[in-house]
Amino acid sequence: MAEGNWTRVSEFILMSFSSLPTEIQSLLFLTFLFIYLVTLLGNSLIILVTLADPMLHSPMYFFLRNLSFLEIGFNLVIVPKMLGTLIAQDTTISFLGCATQMYFSFFFGVSECFLLATMAYDRYVAICSPLHYPVIMNPRTCAKLAAVSWFPGIPVATVQTTWLFSFPFCGINKVNHFFCDSPPVLRLVCADTARFEIYAIIGTILVVMTPCLLILCSYTRIAAAILKIPSAKGKHKAFSTCSSHLLVVSLFYVSSSLTYFRPKSNNSPENKKVLSLSYTIVTPMLNPIIYSLRNNEVKNALARTFHKAMGVRNCFL
């Protein structure tokens, strides 16, 4: 609909990796499709195994199951559309579709920040108060902590998405990214966005730093408790229960911080696309691998579940 010299935007065009040659795009499609399938399979296995195996019915694996749900949701929001832009050149996305994608990317991203903090608290209680751990981390408390972890994503996603998409979008509708992320969409707004940008910066710092400080506090207390353990074997056992979570936290925070907190002068759109791939595509794939390879309980549970499944299959043959 024409209005003055502007044309209102009814859809967006995701530029994705369109600047690359077709052969490279085809290679990227195969690579990202493989990663996508591994992510869905790995996280689905974590969910199924932690539900099916009674040995994994503990708070740690309850929160790990929640993390796997988050990773699957995050991937379903972003990756299928990105694959479409690479193989079918289906680069258009409706106004509502773009807003929906942004909303759920905010929701899952914020929820993951707080869930990682909750998982750190779980490890803190397990190591610093092992005798009281079953009482403190009872099923009702775990359910409340999980709900508290998921909830912050709702107000943050609702406010940021509705506010951004209430601005007028005029003329240019090309989003220089592979999904509808806030900064590239904000560049298309033809209005004063100073207040929104201030809110977005403050909100991002709070959402990232609050869970990060909780994680640091938890692991500071954990480190102090581990150092008091007299035997080297005991120290190693205590540390091994945290190592997988520490690695996952490091991957998530380093990749997201490099994406959103780098100076603009050092953060070209192409660099940001590459950095965004690390926390939207790579990290969700690595999480189940990390927890499987570095955790004997998960490996043993996978083996037991596989043997049970083979036994049931043989009964029908």
DSSP 102-154: HHHHHHHHHHHHHHHHHHHHHHHHHHH-TTTHHHHT-HHHHHHHHHHHHTTHH
Mean pLDDT for the stretch of residues 286-300: 76
pLDDT of residue 1: 39
Percentage of the chain beyond pLDDT 70 is 89
Q: Is 49 exposed, middle or buried (0-12, 13-18, 19+ CB in 10 A)?
A: buried
Kindly state the tokens that stand for 158.
Answer: 């609702």
Give the pLDDT band (50/70/90) at residue 267: low
Give the span between the Cα atoms of 98 and 165, in whole angstroms: 9
Chain centre to alpha carbon of residue 128 = 28
Chain centre to alpha carbon of residue 277 = 11
Highest mean pLDDT among 144-153, 187-196, 296-305: 144-153
Contact partners, residue 231, CB within 8 Å, separation at least 6: none
Are 177 and 269 within 8 A, CB to CB?
Answer: yes
Are 128 and 222 within 8 A, CB to CB?
Answer: yes
DSSP conformation class of 168? -
pLDDT of residue 54: 84
Q: Is 8 exposed, middle or buried (0-12, 13-18, 19+ CB in 10 A)?
A: middle
Closest C-alpha to 288, from 304, 274, 302: 302
Structural Rg of the chain based on CA atoms: 22
Give the span between the Cα atoms of 265 and 255, in whole angstroms: 18
Give the span between the Cα atoms of 165 and 245, in whole angstroms: 36
Mean pLDDT for the stretch of residues 65-76: 94
φ, ψ for residue 7, nearest 5 deg: -120, 120
Give the pLDDT band (50/70/90) at residue 4: very low
H helices of the chain, in order, are: 22-52, 59-87, 95-128, 133-136, 139-150, 153-164, 182-186, 194-227, 232-260, 269-277, 283-293, 296-315
Check pLDDT > 60 for residue 313: no
